[in-house]
Amino acid sequence: MNFWREIYPSLRTFAVLVAILWLAGCDVERRKSDTELGLDPQQAAGRKLYDNYCDRCHEPYSSHGKKGPSLKGIFKHQYLSLSGLPANDERVTDIVKYGRAKMEGFNQVMTEQQVKDLLAYLHTL
């Protein structure tokens, strides 16, 4: 009987921890491949750039942001969520190249073609 009195709090703590981890995992999706997402070669190249430069601050497929706003559906709205600027290629290109507020610009890091590839991928979100 003493054994169960000693082990019960540990089992209860373990069960609560498992439940928390399980619930936290409900919002996590398996990362889909480029093929599963139907990306063409330009969009796939843009996705690699996104992974390297954007993903640390912006969620691609969730409405939850990280440091910066989520980019899910960025071109499905008339205006960008934080700035209120038009959600079009010209404005987003300017933000990618020159930055905005807390975001650094990538003009010195990305070529013109890479920016176009990134925009092609952003259109798929």
pLDDT tens-digit readout, 69-108:
888 889 998 998 878 889 999 999 999 999 988 889 999 9
Domain presence at residue 85: yes
Between 109 and 24, whose confidence is greater? 109
* Tokens standing for residue 50: 């996104």
pLDDT in tens, 11-58: 555 555 444 545 455 445 577 888 888 999 999 999 999 999 998 888
Q: Which residues contact 107 (CB under 8 A, 6 or more apart)?
A: 97, 98
Q: What was the pLDDT predicted at 14?
A: 54
Query: Is residue 14 included in any domain, yes or no?
Result: no
Domain of residue 55, residue span: 34-122
Q: Is residue 82 part of a domain?
A: yes
Looking at the domain assignment, is residue 3 inside a domain? no
Torsion angle of alpha carbons 22, 24, 25, 31, nearest 10°? -170
Bridge partners, residue 79, by sequence: 86
Give the model's pLDDT for residue 82: 78
What CATH number does the domain containing 62 carry?
Answer: 1.10.760.10
Q: What gap in Å lies between CA 122 and CA 89, rounded to an integer?
A: 10
pLDDT at 108 (0 to 100): 93
Q: Check residue 58 and give its pLDDT.
A: 84
pTM value?
A: 0.71
Higher pLDDT, 4 or 76: 76
Number of domain units in the chain: 1
**1 is a domain residue:** no
Q: For residue 43, tell me if it sits in a domain.
A: yes
pLDDT band at 118 (very low <50, low <70, confident <90, very high): very high
Contact 90, 124 (CB under 8 A): no
